[in-house]
Structure 1
Amino acid sequence: MKKILLILSFLLATTSQATIKSQIVHYEDNDVQLKGELYWDDAITGKRPGVMVVHEWWGLNDYAKKRAHKLAKAGYVAFAADMYGDDKVTRHAADAKGWMGQITANTKAWQQRALLGLAQLKNHPLVATEKLAAIGYCFGGATVIQMAYAGANLKGVASFHGSLPLAPESSKGKIKAKILAAHGAQDQFVPAEAVLDFSQSLIAAEAQWEVDIYGAASHSFTNPNSADYKIPQLKYDAQADKRSWDRLMSFFEEIF
């Protein structure tokens, strides 16, 4: 009987995994060719909330796609957006820093490219267009916050170990998305002073926001492959990863 139950469990798990579909989406920002990837559970019928996922400064690599896949398993349509284009993915910090700098140098262009990604998600026939959110990691965390500052029609955004850009004065009373930021107290790239300044700017902007701080966590605490980059300030924290993901799931239940 135990063997039969184990076999059934395996078959059910395999069937569940097999229902996750993916689709490459080509789009462009002026002359830059962008390529994102959509994920959804084909076993679920009807429309459902859509969640955009924005990658770390390394580019649209497997990590961001795995997060989008995980969101699809949780019942959402997820879109792993491309912020660099031209298949730019790297493991070298110098390249990543340069590419990120090119994007963040012009805030309006940065926001516009992110919003183009959101449009790809919104266009999917299974997406309930009134129920949209965006999440991001590191550079991607800052990106989804910028989407909120741009007044995007999002129910919420969630940043994981993001750089926490300050809300501009022009965003006062105009931020539609609820903001969730998951931050590691040991993050050497984003110190406590930056978190305080970020919080105060959101108060001034009259935003709805929350910052969750994980005491033992460092930068990139959600990425199990952080150590592979050989940067001492990057460190995976399994407990903070799980807790922050669980908070994201409850956040989605609230906003959707």
Structure 2
Amino acid sequence: MADPRLAPVGATATRLPVAGVLLDIDETLVDLEGAMHQALREVTAPYAALTEAGWVTLCDTFGRQSEDIYDRYVAGEITFAEQRVLRAERSLAAVGAAFPDGAAAAAWLATYETVQPGYVRAFDDVVPLLDALDAAGIAYGAVSNNVHDFQRAKLDQAGLARIGVLVGIDAVGAAKPDPAIFREGLRLLGTSAESTVYIGDNPGHDVVGAAGAGLRGIWLNRTGRELPEDVANTVTEQIASLGEVPALIGLA
């Protein structure tokens, strides 16, 4: 079977040379999962005495097993703070624990919001990619399913202030995979969809969404996950590292 990372994107032959690159932020540019896991262990210890296996369960539940709760925030059903508390409550329940009362949940949230940003780091392959794009004169930016100011602070904390173009869900009142949020990224970059690549870790929101707006979508699969069946025929390019991007867009 052919390596899916080498499979061509539909209509690649008619595409223009790459003039712009847009990227997701969380788990693409920034190791949010790592930051969450470190912060969770620090601030949740008073509410649960856990083995290492228990911490793994709690952290996984807070992250990948609570994406439905985060989606409710993106849809405007709950606030950002509320989704964090709901995820924490679910995570504690998964290991047989709970906040004793609402005041404890509020105290946990305040501590988590203070501690977590300090753990935010960029992945090691980010700066080399940005250096290569700068050297080639290729415009770049970020499009994220969170609000602009929150993600701006995250990028700055991670040492990525050089990423000037940033589109959040508050920019156009839409979230990925809606084409509108990608088109706003294109507008700010000043590039066409046909000459722009979008890279992200969520095959549905990032890759299929980008393709729906006319961009070339590439799935960043850092952990070797299986491609979900519902997007298997749409996601035609994947990479394990941003270090692969220069070759894919003709810079190496």
TM-score range, shorter chain: 0.3 to 0.5
TM-score, normalised by the number of residues in structure 2: 0.36
Structure 1 or 2: more strand by fraction: 1
Question: Which structure ranks higher in relative contact order (CA pairs < 8 Å, sequence separation ≥ 6)?
Answer: 2
Structure 1 or 2: more helix by fraction: 2
